[in-house]
Structure 1
Amino acid sequence: MADMQDYLRATEIIDWINPAVLQKAKELAGDRTDPVEISRRYFEWVRDEIMHSNDHKMNSVTLKASEVLKYGTGYCYAKSHLLAALLRANSIPCGICYQRLSIDDNGEPFCLHALNAVYLPEIGWYRMDARGNKEGVDARFTPPKEQLAFGINFEDEMDLPEIWPDPLPVVVDVLEKYSRFDEVAENLPDVLIIGKKKR
């Protein structure tokens, strides 16, 4: 795993030093000081107020945290970038995790799905999924118990164990290449898993 400082730094994509991101982080945290409560607040806001691009058929295709905030929409990947940025802006370590899931819940084809892991005092790394709830999806922030958007149900689906400080290049490539939500939907990123184990 990377050094803890890597989960706090600003990057070109997790651009928490952007003034609008800093302002939103400050506004949402208010006078809260408990990292768990601040994390809950950020998670629920990104989950509920940033629209999932494919669920809501929304352009623009966003990548940077500041773009997600500006346009109010993003795929799960982009929403994870914004949630990481808000947490890092408040000095709460946050990384990105991925699942490999069946696109149509029927085996192949597969794609990556992005979520976050936040480091909480007395709990450690805790995964949370702010992709946005809908029928059949009920992700919540209930530490120390995880309540993610999706489970692992098929052979070749899996939870990737890594907590990444930065988004995977294959994800960035797709979000940079396409400008419409439907183009992204037709070209969702995937990775080849060698020696995979179902969790």
Structure 2
Amino acid sequence: MNFDSEPWAYLEASEAIDLEHEAVQSLASLLREGDDLAFAQTAFDYVRDDITHCLDAGDPRVPWRASDVITAKTGFCYAKSHAYAALLRAAGIQAGLCYQDIDGTLHGLTAALIDDRWVRLDPRGNNADIDVQFSATEDRLAYPDRPVHPTVYAAPHPAVLKALQVHATAQDLPLPKATVL
């Protein structure tokens, strides 16, 4: 993996990863039991299972800030990754964002430093075709046979953030092209 920032940046708040927001802090506190590994898994399971992927759910909303995703309980893969990264960072676990090329468009993932190892985790949400489980030792992806871009970003890629911010409904959102990376 490559990193676009210094290590401390993977613990910081940003416009989309608003880890200091009350919704993020409250949920992180609620989910916090056990060590960092247990928290990382509990937070992953929560984002994967309790926050729907807006297209799977037919939800037209396009939240992009972690706090809005947590409050709305829905979001695109990118936004769900923002929420998971924010929860991890709120607990002091380094986390960043990764992207995967799915037929020419970007798919959002989270990378986390768990037990001294960076792993890519996909909190997109399971459905009839996808079953992603947490792992602290290996990448777990919804689309394991598709190429993953090697960079772990401390903040969302500008093309992803712009797409999420300027479109009013999920059905209108043109997914960012993989060529932007």
Give the alignment's TM-score, normalised by structure 2. Answer: 0.94
What is the aligned partner in structure 2 of residue 140 from structure 1? Answer: 133
For 1:31-50, list aligned pairs within 5 A: 31-32=33-34, 34-50=35-51
What is the aligned partner in structure 2 of residue 8 from structure 1? Answer: 11
Deviations 1:9-31 (A, max 9, x none): 011110010011101000011x3
Per the TM alignment, residue 145 of structure 1 is displaced from its structure 2 partner at its CA by: 2.7
Matched length = 178
What is the aligned partner in structure 1 of residue 68 from structure 2? Answer: 67
Cα separation, 2, equivalents of 1:19 and 1:143: 27
Cα separation, 2, equivalents of 1:151 and 1:92: 24
What is the aligned partner in structure 1 of residue 142 from structure 2? Answer: 149
Task: Find 1:168's aligned residue among 134, 147, 157.
Answer: 157
Per the TM alignment, residue 193 of structure 1 is displaced from its structure 2 partner at its CA by: 7.2
For 1:159-198, list aligned pairs within 5 A: 159-184=148-173, 187-192=174-179
Which structure is higher in RCO with an 8 Å CA cutoff and minimum separation 6? Answer: 2
Letter aligned with residue 53 of structure 2: H
What is the aligned partner in structure 2 of residue 117 from structure 1? Answer: 111
Cα separation, 2, equivalents of 1:95 and 1:16: 13
Per the TM alignment, residue 169 of structure 1 is displaced from its structure 2 partner at its CA by: 0.6
1:21 aligns with 2:12: no
Cα separation, 2, equivalents of 1:81 and 1:92: 14
Where do 5+ consecutive residues of structure 2 fail to align?
A: none
SS at match of 2:101: strand
Task: Decide which structure has the larger Cα Rg and report it.
Answer: 1
1:57 aligns with 2:58: yes
What is the aligned partner in structure 2 of residue 90 from structure 1? Answer: 91
Where do 5+ consecutive residues of structure 1 fail to align?
A: 103-109, 195-199
Cα separation, 2, equivalents of 1:91 and 1:74: 24
Change (3 A) 1:36 1:170: same
Letter aligned with residue 29 of structure 2: K
Larger fraction in helix: 2
Give the alignment's TM-score, normalised by structure 1. Answer: 0.86
Contact 2:10 2:89 in 1 (8 A): yes
Per the TM alignment, residue 152 of structure 1 is displaced from its structure 2 partner at its CA by: 2.7
What is the aligned partner in structure 1 of residue 102 from structure 2? Answer: 101
Cα separation, 1, equivalents of 2:140 and 2:68: 27
Contact 1:59 1:73 in 2 (8 A): no
| RMSD, aligned CA | 1.4
Cα separation, 1, equivalents of 2:31 and 2:15: 22
Change (3 A) 1:167 1:193: closer
Cα separation, 2, equivalents of 1:37 and 1:75: 25
Per the TM alignment, residue 94 of structure 1 is displaced from its structure 2 partner at its CA by: 0.3
